[in-house]
Amino acid sequence: MYIFIINPRAGNGRAKHIFSQITKSNLYQKFESTYYFTKYPGHAEEIANQILEDPKLESIIVIGGDGTIHEVLNGLANSSVPVAFIPGGSGNDFARGCNIKGSPLEVLRDIINRDSSSKPYWIGNYRQDQQPNRNFVNSIGFGFDAQIADTVNKSVYKNILNRLGIGTFSYVIALIQVLIRFKPMMVNININQKQRKLTNCWMVTTGNHPYYGGGMKIIPNAKIQPNILPVLIIHDISKWKVLSLFITVFFGKHLMFKEVEVLETTGFTIDSDQEIFFQVDGQTGTCKSCIITKQTEPVNLQGTNIR
């Protein structure tokens, strides 16, 4: 039994349209399946947790955006149930990081032929302000990038630009908005058994693959791998120079800036005396402390071309 979880609002209705096309195909008629549409934020997580008890469950196929796959993998916790993803969101960084390519029907065909396409994917874990542990699929970041994501999520132009197929420009607009008012952070990080105090820090971010924000190669050398987390830090930098830096992010060339530092670690902690913005897979909030680690057991992903 294949169970589809679809976010009908993802990509301004794109995910719902994709599933409609799939149900009309001959391929869809060849296997046993059922489906669920999400109805509110967090619903995909609830569905994933509930259907784990289905004895016929072979695989979960997610159709939506990065937020949808984030919810599903949190709902599955440490389950070994295979998961597949058909991108239907606006950014689709998870699909980009996993090299999921082709039309929705081509991706579905790869999923069904799972013996030749199943790959491991190691997600990350985070725990903020003594809250329960949760998972991040793409990335988690603190500071400037988190405020940009928060501004995009609250904007009126995000949906308009997504409908026009130029959703990435919403991050460019938000970058300029945030740049005007942004104040660098003062944070402490404990990384590789060293305690560091960062003053006038712009951002600290880590990811399971290079991409976020709809295709920005924020950590170009990040790999889908166990144990290792790459951490990018942007130190004290002028606001005018930030514009140049983020133009080069799309090409992964921002590492040449002297204010950019990249480390590798198995995990780290970050804390501050004041509330700091964070983003996890595009969803935002604030916290004073966070523990970030890498999950040791992989998720079994189907229909991918991870290398």
Placement of tokens 């295709």 in the chain: 215
Q: How do residues 197-225 score in pLDDT, each as one tens digit? A: 999 999 999 999 999 888 889 999 999 99
Q: What is the mean pLDDT of residues 236-242?
A: 91
Give tens-digit pLDDT for 262-301: 999 999 999 999 999 999 998 999 999 999 999 888 988 8
pLDDT digits (tens, 9 = 90+) for 143-194: 999 999 999 888 888 878 777 777 777 888 888 899 999 999 999 999 999 9
Given a cut of 70, whether residue 305 has pLDDT beyond it is no
Instruction: Indicate whether 116 pLDDT > 70.
Output: no
Please state which CATH number belongs to domain 2-117.
3.40.50.10330
Please choose, from the candidates 27, 32, 6, the residue with its C-alpha nearest in 3D space to the C-alpha of residue 109: 27
Q: Do domains 2-117 and 125-294 have the same CATH topology?
A: no
Whether the pLDDT of residue 304 is over 80: the answer is no
Q: What number is the average pLDDT over the span 133-141?
A: 95
Which comes out higher in pLDDT, residue 116 or 22? 22
Burial pattern 25-62, b for ≥16 Cβ within 10 A else e, equals eeebeeeebeebbbeeeebbbebbbebeeeeebbbbbb
Q: What are the residue ranges spanned by the domains of the chain? A: 2-117, 125-294
The model's pTM: 0.91
| Mean pLDDT taken over the chain | 91
Is residue 123 within 8 Å of 295, Cβ to Cβ?
A: yes
Amino acid in the structure at residue 217: K
Q: What is the pLDDT of residues 4-14, one digit of tens each?
A: 999 999 988 99
How far is it, in rounded angstroms, from Cα 70 to Cα 168? 20
Three-state secondary-structure class, residue 16? helix
Instruction: Read off the pLDDT band of 117 (50, 70, 90).
Output: low
Q: Mean of the pLDDT values across residues 229-250? A: 91
Radius of gyration, CA atoms only, the chain: 19
140: left (phi over 0), alpha (psi -120 to 50) or beta: beta
Question: Can you give the pLDDT at residue 220?
Answer: 92
Options 2.60.200.40, 3.90.1200.10, 3.40.50.12240, 3.60.15.10; which CATH number does 125-294 get? 2.60.200.40
At 31-59, the pLDDT tens digits run: 999 999 999 999 999 999 999 888 788 89
Of 146, 80, 118, nearest to 299 by C-alpha is: 80
Q: Is residue 118 a contact partner of residue 305, using CB atoms and an 8 Å limit?
A: no
- The confidence score (pLDDT) of residue 110 equals 87
Biggest distance spanned by C-alpha atoms of the chain: 59
- CA torsion through residues 41, 44, 49, 50, sign: positive
What is residue 168's predicted lDDT score, i.e. its pLDDT?
Answer: 75
Q: What is the mean pLDDT of residues 253-260?
A: 93
Nearest residue to 62 (alpha-carbon basis) of 52, 53, 71: 71
Closest to 219 measured CA to CA, from 232, 234, 233, 237: 232
pLDDT confidence band for 94 (50 / 70 / 90): very high
pLDDT of residue 52: 85
